[in-house]
Amino acid sequence: MLTVNNLTKIYDGNVLALDDVSFQAKDGEFLAIIGLSGSGKSTLLRCINRLIEPTSGQILWDGRDITAASSEELRTIRRKIGMVFQHFNLVHRSSVLTNVLAGRLGYVNPAMSLINRFPKEDIDKAIKQLERVGIADKAHQRADELSGGQQQRVGVARALIQDPEIILADEPVASLDPVLAHSIMRYLELINKEDGVTVLCSLHFLDLVHRYAHRVVALNEGKLVFEGLPEEIDDDMFKEIYGQEAERVG
Amino acid sequence: MKKPSNLWRSITLGLAVLAGLIVYAYGFQVTKVSLEETRSPRRQTQLIRIIRAIAQPDILEYQKQEFEVNAPIYVPCPSGDLNLPEPDRSGPYMVITPPCADPHAEINVEGFNFEPNTEGPIFFIPPSDVRLQMGNIQTDSSGHFTVTVTLPKRPSEELQHVLVITRRNVGAPYFTQTAKDTWDKIIETVFLALLATTIGTALAIPVSFFAARNLMRDVRSPLASISLSILAWPAGLLIGVQATRLVTNFSHMLTDNVALSVGGLFAGFLVAWFPARWALPQAEIQRPSTLMRLARLLALLIAAFSTILFLILFSNLIVSLGNVLAAHLSIFGFVGTFVSDLGEILSMVVVLIAAAAGGGALSSTAGRIGQFLNMRVSGATNRIISLILAGLAGATMLAIIGAVINWLYQIDNPIKTLWIPAGVGAVLGVILSSRAKEADTLPVGLSIYFIVRTILNSLRSIEPLIMVIVFAVWVGIGPFAGVLALSLHTIAALSKLYSEQVESILSGPLEAVTATGATRLQTIIYAVVPQIVPPYISFTMYRWDINVRMSTIIGFAGGGGIGFLLQQNINLLNYRAASAQMVAIAIVVASMDYLSSKMRERVV
């Protein structure tokens, strides 16, 4: 169970990104986070693994307070939280395999990993995850030689090799075309169903939300404006989330 | 927008032109532009002489053979008959008209059958056999010359002579001594640049991470943790140095005997390797218990001592090996000397490594304890602890600064250099601590960033030509001083360039690797390093290029290399030799330019 209590983030210069946000995500849930660009979706996801330090509020995960963890505890928390990014965030000049192995950095001995030595099991595991997302043959290519969809699969494999209990996906399909978008979303769905991993996924398109999410939270200008089932988003709710001018498409 | 009136525009333009005129007029005055000097004939002849000398670099020369041709003459004309022998017309000969003349008279000398296109002096030889030069001759393509010379005032009854000496090149050309010296020095120059670039790059890479804002910005710690780290650093340094001293003394028992020494080497390696492997497991799934942690700490300590022992024995062994090699390799003896030097460098570095490792380890442990205290202890206890720690840390820091000032200015007054700074530091620390809130963190990273940047900027503003003066005092005039000065400047300049590259990397991969639970060091290795390899190589090449240029003139200030020779020859007005060195510099710089641009193309 992941509980977010009264989370607030104020960036330098008094920009209020998150305003007293509270919600819960049950274990094994596929939770979609929707809202306009700049509504605080990315900030919210990054506060959960403290890539961004929250200004105030609490994030509890299975009784542990993430917001109060020391830097060493934070490392052990982070290694159980995989993250998938909109722009994939692969290291371009490294090989696909190295990019995936980077997901094990929280587990391996820091001294050995500095000279690029990973345990044999980890390498086998990396290959297995690449097989799972269907690009094992690309393992030794440079990451920037891959197409966008393939790069995002590497991103998913990197999150999977962490043996995560939560995956944070920050608009994982926003830079991909609709066909690729569905294929990536299906991998996330598979992970959610087969491995029982909790998925928190920010999304732009409502049809994707309806198709994949169990539950939805919606943000507008940093405030939580909706928490419920996807089917509950009617036209009024839609205007509440996306503004009065917005029109439903698709 | 309203268009300004034409009159106004003309006035501003006129004023601008006037201002420009005044600026340049003043410029002419202060730089003492003197057109008269440029026209002075005396200066012009000197200029022409130098330019001609420079155009003939002293690189090649020939073996010379001298030819002497005599012609008889009477000065003044005798009373009787002129009884002159006929010249031998089979070889080179001269005809003088008139065959006799008074002193100070002009005579015409014509030569035939000489070596074509040669030159040489023409002398008057009185009976005393001294040579009085009257001028020079220059033969044409058929070996013929005519010259009009004035006879000296040496009247005599006897037959006197006119002598022409021509020189002829014989055999193949060979390199002059200047060319050989220039070659030696240009080699020295290139290697000077190579060493300076290597040393500078090796040190600039780690420094550049500390000077990169995007890496240092997020490094923050609570005050208690910082205070403990500051307190632990000097203690750790001291422990490191002492440990090395202890192990060195112990190792002296082994070094007398080769077998013991080699055995110690292996034992040291094994005792360092296995505990370290055990204490640093490949992967860690569960958090270890406190007892386990203590056991690991002990194992790491043992491993650290064994590592020091291993390194000391290893360096001793290398020194001996180098000496043996140097004695037996004859021409390649320098390789042996190099190996032995490497051993000595290693033994010097061991102390530094041990000190740095001791300081780093102790201070990071202390920092963690500080963090732990900050998290676990709350309320009044925490406040008191952090007050005390901050006071102590402030006192230590300012006391160390006081010691440095004392060393520099030799004040030798402990009240001024120790107690007052310590007191002020303690007060500052307490004030800082009492103002900080419990959960506040201080931007340690940014402070380090600013300190490193300031040091680099001030180092960079000192030209290597000035740095070398200090180093020449330390290690003596010569290429080694040049290497040290150039290295220092390279560190400062490259760190700046490198750190700007680190600042311009994509932040996405950094974020992604941090999110996997990687440590800061792992993040740098996996997300930063792959991104900066191409620009780093490119900047290193660029710097190597600059260092080659720089090393050609660093000798002007005592830094060895070809500049030393060049300056000497300029001061001796030996422009042909200086020209040879300038040609060498031009060739080296141009080929380095070409090479480095080719290599940059290949890697980037």
CATH number, domain containing residue B136: 2.60.40
Instruction: Find out whether A108 and B282 touch, Cβ atoms under 8 Å.
Output: yes
| B285–A85 C-beta distance less than 8 A | no
Distance from the Cα of A46 to chain B's closest Cα (Å) equals: 9
Cα of B511 to nearest chain A Cα, Å: 7
Do B462 and B601 belong to one domain? yes
Rounded Cα distance, B387 and B390, in Å: 5
| CB-CB under 8 Å, A90 with B515 | no
Q: Say how far apart CA B9 and CA B17 lie, in whole Å.
A: 12
Residues of B engaging A, defined by a Cβ cutoff of 8 Å: 280-285, 287, 368, 371-372, 375, 506, 508-509, 511-519, 521-522, 525-527, 530-531, 533-534
The model's confidence at residue B485, banded by pLDDT at 50, 70 and 90, is very high
Distance from CA of A162 to the nearest CA of B (A): 7
Question: Would residue B126 count as lying in a domain?
Answer: yes
Per the structure, the count of domains in chain B is 2
Contact B530 A94 (CB under 8 A): yes
Model confidence at B396: pLDDT above 70: yes
Q: What is the pLDDT of residue B283?
A: 64
- Alpha-carbon gap, residue B604 to B597, rounded angstroms: 11
Q: Which residues of A touch B513 (CB under 8 A)?
A: 91, 102, 105
Contact A102 B508 (CB under 8 A): no
Q: Show residues of chain A in contact with B531, CB under 8 Å.
A: 91-93
Q: Cβ separation of B519 and A90 shorter than 8 Å?
A: no
SS (H, E, C) chain A: CEEEEEEEEEECCCEEEEEEEEEEECCCCEEEEECCCCCCHHHHHHHHCCCCCCCEEEEEECCEEHHHCCHHHHHHHHCCEEEECCCCCCCCCCEHHHHHHHHHCCCECHHHHCCCCCCHHHHHHHHHHHHHCCCHHHCCCEHHHCCHHHHHHHHHHHHHCCCCCEEEEECCCCCCCHHHHHHHHHHHHHHHHHCCCEEEEEECCHHHHHHHCCEEEEEECCEEEEEECHHHCCHHHHHHHHCCCCCCCC
B168 and B207 belong to one structural domain: no
Domain end marker among B140, B173, B206: B173
> Across the interface, do B533 and A158 touch by the CB < 8 Å criterion?
no
Q: In this structure, are strands B106-112 and B93-97 parallel, antiparallel, or unpaired?
A: antiparallel
Q: Nearest chain B Cα to A106, which residue?
A: B517
- Of A83, A102, A107, which is closest to B526 when you measure between CB atoms? A102
When CB atoms are compared, the residue of A85, A111, A121 closest to B508 is A85
* Whether the Cβ atoms of residue A17 and residue A9 lie closer than 8 Å to each other: yes
Asked whether residue B201 is domain-assigned, the answer is: yes
> Is residue B459 domain-shared with residue B509, that is, in the same domain?
yes
> Which chain B positions have a beta carbon within 8 Å of A169's beta carbon?
none
Chain B residues inside the 8 Å CB shell of A104: 283, 516
pLDDT reading at B144 higher than 70: yes
SS (H, E, C) B541-572: HHHHHHHHHHHHHHHHHCCCCHHHHHHHHHHC
User: In this structure, are B463 and B601 located in the same domain?
Assistant: yes
Q: Say how many residues make up chain A.
A: 250
Within-domain flag for B265: no
Which of A90, A98, A119 minimises the CB distance to B283? A119
Does B85 map to a domain?
A: yes
Q: Which of A51, A103, A109 sits opposite B280 (nearest CB)?
A: A109
**B297 CA to chain A: closest CA distance, Å?**
15
A-chain CB neighbours of B522 within 8 Å are 105, 110, 113-114
Which residue does chain B place closest to A170, by CA atoms? Answer: B512
Do B210 and B70 belong together in one domain? no
In a domain, B388, yes or no: no
Written as six digits, the tokens of B256 are 């007398």
Taking only the tens place, the pLDDT of each residue in A128-180 is 999 988 888 988 999 989 998 899 999 999 999 999 999 999 999 888 888 88
Q: In this predicted structure, what is the pLDDT of residue B409?
A: 87
**What are the tens digits of pLDDT across the range B179-204?**
999 999 999 998 999 999 999 999 99
Residues facing residue A4 across a β-bridge: A23, A59
Q: Is residue B281 part of a domain?
A: no
- Closest residue on chain B to A120 (Cα): B282
Do B575 and B544 lie in one domain? The reply is yes
**C-alpha to C-alpha distance for B123 and B132, rounded to whole angstroms:** 5
Same domain (yes/no): B105, B159: yes
Judged by average pLDDT, the poorest of A222-226, B219-223, B351-355, B493-497 is B219-223
- Range name among A36-40, B140-144, B217-221, B530-534 with the lowest pLDDT average: B217-221
User: What's the rounded Cα separation, in Å, for the pair B543 and B545?
Assistant: 5
Instruction: State the pLDDT at residue B436.
Output: 73
Together in a domain, B603 and B458: yes
Question: Given a cut of 50, is residue A250 above it in pLDDT?
Answer: no
pLDDT value for A2: 92
Is residue A226 within 8 A of residue A237, CB to CB? The reply is yes
Q: Which two tokens stand for residue A189?
A: 């769905």
Identify whether residues B474 and B558 lie together within a single domain.
yes
Region of poorest pLDDT, from B6-20, B383-397, B561-575: B383-397
Domain span at residue B191 reads: 176-219+453-604
Q: Are residues B206 and B106 in the same domain?
A: no
Q: Which one-letter amino acid corresponds to residue B461?
A: S
Nearest CA in chain B to A113: B522
Q: What is the CATH number of the domain that holds B530?
A: 1.10.3720.10
SS3 state of residue B381 = helix
Mean pLDDT of A23-41: 90
pLDDT for B499-525, tens place per residue?
A: 999 999 988 999 999 999 888 888 989
Residue B392 lies in a domain: no
Q: Which two tokens stand for residue A26?
A: 């049950």
Residue B553 and residue B496 share a domain: yes
Hey, are the CB atoms on B516 and A106 less than 8 Å from each other? yes
Identify the burial level of B234 via C-beta atoms within 10 angstroms of its C-beta, where 0-12 means exposed, 13-18 middle and 19 or more buried. middle
- Which pair of structure tokens corresponds to residue A81? 């939280």
**Are the C-beta atoms of A124 and A97 separated by less than 8 Å?**
no
The first and second tokens of residue B65, run together, are 């053979």
Mean pLDDT of B58-66: 85
Among residues B141, B157, B173, which one ends one of the domains? B173
Last residue of a domain, one of B138, B173, B208: B173
Q: What is the pTM of this model?
A: 0.77
Closest CA to B125 of B83, B82, B68, B64: B68
- Interface with chain A: mutation pick from B282, B293, B506, highest number of A CBs within 10 Å: B282
Does residue B160 sit in the same domain as residue B93? yes
Distance from CA of A132 to the nearest CA of B (A): 20
Question: Taking the CA atoms of chain A, what radius of gyration do you get in angstroms?
Answer: 18
pLDDT at B587: 92
Q: Is B253 a domain residue?
A: no
- Contact list in B for residue A91 (CB cut-off 8 A) is 509, 513, 526-527, 530-531
Residues of chain A contacting B508 with CB distance shorter than 8 Å: 85, 87-89
Using CB atoms within 10 Å of the CB of residue A240, give its burial: 0 to 12 exposed, 13 to 18 middle, 19+ buried: middle
